[in-house]
Amino acid sequence: MSLQERYETEKAKWDDIAEKQFEKLRVLGPGEDFHQHAMREILLTGVSEFLGDLRGKRVLEMGCGAGLMSTLLAKSGAHVTSFDLSSLSVRLSKQRAKINQVDIDPLISAGEYLPFADESFEIVFGKSILHHLDIPTGKGEVYRVLRKGNKAVFMEPMGMNPALTFMRQYMPYRHKGEVGVDQPLTYKDMDAWTHNFQFREYKEVQFLSMIERAFGWGRRFPVLRKLDDYLLKKIPMLRRFCRYVVIFAIK
């Protein structure tokens, strides 16, 4: 599939998803910001601590989707620029920010070719974006637009568990999204995205507790999470079979 064909497939997919989200927009609760959200979201394990104080920071969110993360980042005091290939996602992000009375700067762009000057941002953030992108084309862009000495963090699905791959492809579960050009990451892929950075670290999450996803969004099984913590610490080889990874990097 050519890059243009990938773009057309992804744009159609995410335009359709965004169109269904407008009626679900809501005003966030008092005090609900990025740090509060990250502390209770397993896929953002360690992210709040890693990024620290966001006030006044120039943040780029890659692949803003419905705009929740952009709005939360802005509520924590960041100056947020975001982009998405889907024009409807960009409109949705603007509307979400507006009803929550924060300013963000969303635009339409592909992740492989970022329309920003070198070292434009102090933080680059992305939730489930890298696995939609063409690695050879886009791998240098994150590094290029990030200011030296500053941080990038991504949360991405992992693709090294055969059973999980089968489930993603063939098994029905609540709120399952359409599989487009998605390619969950291997360690080789993660290394390619972060190869120029002076520091990189991977935090794998959801081994046994990945079963939560089969019950829809927001379900928690505390016993399985505690068991995961124990098993992943004692048997590091199991980490490659987790559902998601948090990628930490410093330029």
CATH of the domain at 145: 3.40.50.150
Classify residue 147: in a domain, yes or no. yes
For residue 168, what pLDDT is reported?
81
For residue 179, what pLDDT is reported?
63
Classify residue 212: in a domain, yes or no. no
Measure Cα distances from 80 to 36, 111, 126 in Å: 18, 16, 12
Q: How many of the other CB atoms lie within 10 Å of CB of 211?
A: 14
For residue 141, what pLDDT is reported?
97
Residue 206 CA to residue 228 CA, distance in Å, equals 7
For residue 119, what pLDDT is reported?
98
- % of residues, the chain, pLDDT over 90: 86
For residue 217, what pLDDT is reported?
72
Residue 4 CA to residue 110 CA, distance in Å, equals 10
For residue 180, what pLDDT is reported?
65
Nearest Cα residue to 150 out of 66, 249, 241: 249
Measure Cα distances from 184 to 122, 150, 180 in Å: 26, 26, 11
Classify residue 224: in a domain, yes or no. no
Nearest Cα residue to 135 out of 172, 177, 187: 187
What's the DSSP call for residue 158?
B
Nearest Cα residue to 240 out of 209, 197, 213, 205: 205
For residue 170, what pLDDT is reported?
74
**Per-residue pLDDT at 1 exceeds 80:** no
For residue 174, what pLDDT is reported?
61
Classify residue 214: in a domain, yes or no. no
For residue 177, what pLDDT is reported?
63
For residue 176, what pLDDT is reported?
58
Question: 135 in helix, strand or coil?
Answer: helix
* 156-210: pLDDT as tens digits: 999 999 988 888 877 766 665 666 678 999 999 999 999 999 999 999 999 999 9
For residue 215, what pLDDT is reported?
82
Classify residue 39: in a domain, yes or no. yes
Classify residue 233: in a domain, yes or no. no
**Total domain count, the chain:** 1
> Domain of 77?
3-207+238-250
